[in-house]
Amino acid sequence: MYVLQCGGLQKYLNEQGFHIVGYGCTTYIGNSGELDELVTAVISENDIVAAAVLSGNLNFEGRGHPLTRVDIDFNKKPIVVGKDGKDVYFKDIWSSTEEIAEVVQSSLLPNMFKSTYEAITKGNAMWNHLSVPIAKLYSWDPNSTYIHEPPYFKNMTMDPPRPNGVKDANCLLNFGDSITTDHISPAGSIHKDRLPSILSSMGLIARTSTLMGVVRLKIDINMLEWTLLPWLEPSTKAEALEIGLRKAQCCWQGVKAVIAKSFERIHRSNLVGMGIVPLYFKSGEDADTLGLTGHERYTIDLPIRPGNIFFLLSVL
């Protein structure tokens, strides 16, 4: 915000309709609130392919709003058609690296950080007046619908064990392009007409703005019974797979690695943060060129370093 205002950029963004309405993650995955009920009804009842436009840095399904389904590749598609009838692309108006660096250098000043941190305990009265117990350790609430004590640190020693390698692992799912961590473990808002059994069992049925990204922090939400969450209650394995792919509502557990042609940075970081190894195909190769069908077995030696040739593949 400081850079935008001090650099003189915010006034031009305001003219385009991009006002500052929040910070951090406010503008996506439902954090900014629900759409008007009439708009929601029209989209749902008429199966409209809707798009959301926001000044965020995450451009994929569900992050603007769960009811929006349009992804736009601004490297290939125009942002507008000019008065002369010609397509205008971001590359035509985007600032150069040098121009951006100049604005940052002149606008991002030490006093901004100093003044902010000096008043960091004064800006939010509600936060400052929260009742907090005096204790060395956090007091976990067993009745919380949002977060429970995770089991990861129980019996942990000062010398953590070496990571186990992966031997003769099956391919759980063989996807096409543009699969994100949001499809695997959704973070958007939970609608009142979706997953009613989860909401009612957790006492969240009336909280229409509850986010899956918050609820999934509760460890038992992400615990699996076989390969899918037990609350999906499929009657057969085939139905279970179909539910997972169609609704993109399942949270997977036990996955050790993901192999892809490329990763968007934030999704790669998310995988690493959950202990899942992101692995790349060699340049010019992918599942199709290698003839991979998903019926192979994979062996991965851990730990690995960037650039390592990592796995042995056996075909059944």
pTM of model > 0.85: no
DSSP state of 153: G
Q: Sorting pLDDT into bands at 50, 70 and 90, what band is 86?
A: very high
Q: Categorise residue 4: left if φ over 0, alpha if ψ from -120 to 50, beta otherwise.
A: alpha
Give the span between the Cα atoms of 197 and 159, in whole angstroms. Answer: 42
Give kind and range of the element (H or E) at residue 125: helix 125-128
Q: In this predicted structure, what is the pLDDT of residue 277?
A: 87
What percentage of the chain's residues is helix, strand, coil (to nearest 5)?
A: 30, 10, 60
Q: Which amino acid is at 34?
A: E
Q: Sorting pLDDT into bands at 50, 70 and 90, what band is 28?
A: low
Domain ranges across the chain: 2-117, 166-315
Strands (E), 213-295: 257-260, 277-280
Pick 207 or 141 by higher pLDDT: 141
pLDDT tens-digit readout, 221-232: 544 333 333 333
Give kind and range of the element (H or E) at residue 213: helix 212-215
89-98, 102-111, 304-313 — which is least confidently predicted? 304-313
Of the candidates 281, 282, 273, 277, the one whose C-alpha atom is nearest the C-alpha of residue 302 is 277
Range 281-287 average pLDDT: 88
Return the structure tokens found at 84: 């002369």
Q: Compute the mean pLDDT over every residue in the chain, rounded to the nearest whole number.
A: 73
Query: Which backbone phi and psi does 103 adopt, to 5 degrees?
Result: -65, -45
Give the span between the Cα atoms of 233 and 240, in whole angstroms. Answer: 8
Give the span between the Cα atoms of 188 and 29, in whole angstroms. Answer: 4
Strand partners, 211: 189
Q: Which amino acid is at 27?
A: T
Range 148-176 average pLDDT: 80
222 burial type by CB count under 10 A (0-12 exposed, 13-18 middle, 19+ buried)? middle
Give the span between the Cα atoms of 18 and 20, in whole angstroms. Answer: 7
282 burial type by CB count under 10 A (0-12 exposed, 13-18 middle, 19+ buried)? exposed
Task: Evaluate whether 44 touches 67 at the Cβ level (below 8 Å).
Answer: yes
Pick 6 or 22 by higher pLDDT: 6
Q: In this predicted structure, what is the pLDDT of residue 98?
A: 93
Q: Sorting pLDDT into bands at 50, 70 and 90, what band is 89?
A: very high
Look at residue 106 and tell me whether its pLDDT is greater than 70: yes
Give the span between the Cα atoms of 246 and 228, in whole angstroms. Answer: 13
Count Cβ atoms below 10 Å from residue 112 Cβ, excluding itself. 14
Query: Which of the four CATH numbers 1.20.1440.230, 3.40.640.10, 3.90.850.10, 3.20.19.10 does domain 166-315 have?
Result: 3.20.19.10
